[in-house]
Structure 1
């Protein structure tokens, strides 16, 4: 761990940037770190701050297309798909019925069941939309229609002789959202990034534990972390930022707006009533909108899906520069 102790970084502002499920974990990490950072104004747990256990300049949390309120996300699927012409009223109704089951399981504390029901809801969405791309609804599904995609996932699962998850629903979800999509990222992390860092032991493989982690978190998967975000806004001076891609289905923008607009934060009403500001490109075209009040900002990123840095890299860079204060 001594390789990660870099004293010169103690005075550099630290921003926690996250994507997808990372936003959920980032909210928890930021809350924990905020209590241990001696440089952060914090109205709660002053003794923890005085302990000065972590020497850093914690400055903000940025959550991109993040899994903050899973129920709000899945409950938005039916209306969002209907509004974008991907389902008719019958399809919307079927999806709404299934996602209501997910919400009921969460409300009743049946977290393992809620994750399995979420998997079933995804399968239903794939069927009624003929294989919509969950990451960007306007991109062609990577493997054709729903049945072809489903069969491909199953074939990949069958061809692997590695650790198998305990439930078929989790196995399917893992291969759908992690296994099939991680090849390029694994190649990057275990190649150029490993070579650049020069500190990773040869017996450690990036992503090698992902299946075990996925299973360990399965019962926590549908738990919200809205309260963690509220705590940061209500008790710290941290910048708290949410950005969401217009074309994301997994964490749709309407779903993200739902939990944001219902936050128990003193500034929620004022934020809702604030005006949006457009962000334009060199040709004058609108590429994003933002709305801020005090230390909270929400960005609507146009023409981008779940992975905003991939779909709209230039816009993502501008957003980052605005947040950290390096905008030229």
Structure 2
């Protein structure tokens, strides 16, 4: 372990000493009194002049999933969960900024109970975060900025992108936000839940009776949402998950083709944190021993994660499709929606449903445009469709975590949105 730590503490040219093989920077921004948000930047390895490449923010799901941990080590960072180099890391193409968002997630923390309670408050906090980030690293102010996200992170990313755009326009922030990537995102929770029954039925997980029972409970959830009973709708969502596990013998919410251990609950079930499955390594040791030591942090990682979710329970099931519409109608930001075909928690049929209902200036073009197949490394990996500043990608052979399950397709989408490199 001494050799490992010694390797991690090598002196770097662009940033401070960090954890991993890249040049890095990191820090805290106090976004409200008593509320402190942590960010961790990995400089790109594509060039010795990082500002020649885009800055990509990664936001994890949850709410309460840590991007500095799961997104970084499990999906797209320079090291994988075994602390070995990742060949398809995004750092090969762009500067990657992992943020533990909202406050209370990961290394971010609140002193008393200053947790965010609405998506709008999360977005407001993020504007302050970026003001602090640019103050420390002003060389990135003019660099094209993209926000990529997963699961509940997409719900946050949509509103964050709108607020960053508005702050830039009104002069309270100097930034160059160009696009947002919404991966398997909790944009319209009701649309997702309503499609669980037919999706599972068509895959052979349910019999007719179970389909009818699950669909009825989903319709009850819709009724709660339609009447503004958001806390009840969140509880009903949890009950739907329990029914799915009962009827399907614990089918994996994040990839329905994953093998399921017999005679016991599945290790990757949601555990009340959307988009944050249980990891295969000791995350507490990795983050609270190795990473915390290497970054010289005093704050423990992860001890407020569950409280983050609990404070957003009234907001959890609310849709943000109107925010996506504002991005499409009021900005020139590219909005890229992508979804893995094997995902259940945010299944592709539900995502297609809310996208098809969007009221935006390119809607007529959307309805008459055919999707086209795309390939990477000699294989068809999915389909794409564009209209105005909206793009949609159907990703094959992938579940909820597209960067993990189908990295070639993800890099293709990344290139399409940023127009930054060849694949």
TM category (shorter chain) comes to 0.7 to 0.9
CA root-mean-square deviation = 2.5
Is structure 2 residue 338 aligned with structure 1 residue 231?
no
- 3-state DSSP of counterpart to 2:204: coil
Distance 2:173 2:242 in 1: 44
Partner of 2:387: 293
Q: Unaligned stretches of 5+ in structure 1? A: 38-48, 155-171
Higher strand share: 2
Shift of 1:239: 0.4
- Displacement over 3 Å in runs of 4+: 1-4, 175-196
Shift of 1:144: 3.2
Describe the superposition over 1:127-176 as per-residue Cα deviations: whole angstroms up to 9, x where unpaired: 111111110000113x435xx218x899xxxxxxxxxxxxxxxxx94379
Distance 1:217 1:91 in 2: 31
Is structure 2 residue 181 aligned with structure 1 residue 62?
yes
Number of aligned residue pairs: give it. 291
Q: Unaligned stretches of 5+ in structure 2? A: 1-27, 30-131
- 3-state DSSP of counterpart to 1:305: coil
Q: Does the aligned pair in 2 maintain the 1:318–1:327 contact within 8 Å?
A: no
Distance 1:21 1:29 in 2: 12
Shift of 1:314: 1.9
Note closer, same or farther for the CA distance 1:182–1:268 as it changes in structure 2 (3 Å cut): farther
Shift of 1:191: 6.0
In structure 2, which of residues 198, 223, 236 is the aligned counterpart of residue 104 of structure 1? Answer: 223
Note closer, same or farther for the CA distance 1:89–1:298 as it changes in structure 2 (3 Å cut): same
Q: How does 1:122-141 map to 2 (within 5 A)?
A: 122-141=241-260
Q: How does 1:55-94 map to 2 (within 5 A)?
A: 55-94=174-213
Distance 1:149 1:24 in 2: 28
Query: Which segment drifts farther, 181-190 or 117-126?
Result: 181-190
Partner of 1:275: 370
Higher helix share: 1
Note closer, same or farther for the CA distance 1:176–1:319 as it changes in structure 2 (3 Å cut): closer
Partner of 1:320: 414
Shift of 1:272: 2.5
Is structure 2 residue 268 aligned with structure 1 residue 149?
no
In structure 1, which of residues 240, 244, 267 is the aligned counterpart of residue 335 of structure 2? Answer: 240
Note closer, same or farther for the CA distance 1:194–1:293 as it changes in structure 2 (3 Å cut): farther
Describe the superposition over 1:273-313 as per-residue Cα deviations: whole angstroms up to 9, x where unpaired: 21212112333x31111000121100000000001111111
Shift of 1:186: 5.5
Note closer, same or farther for the CA distance 1:191–1:270 as it changes in structure 2 (3 Å cut): farther
Partner of 2:317: 222
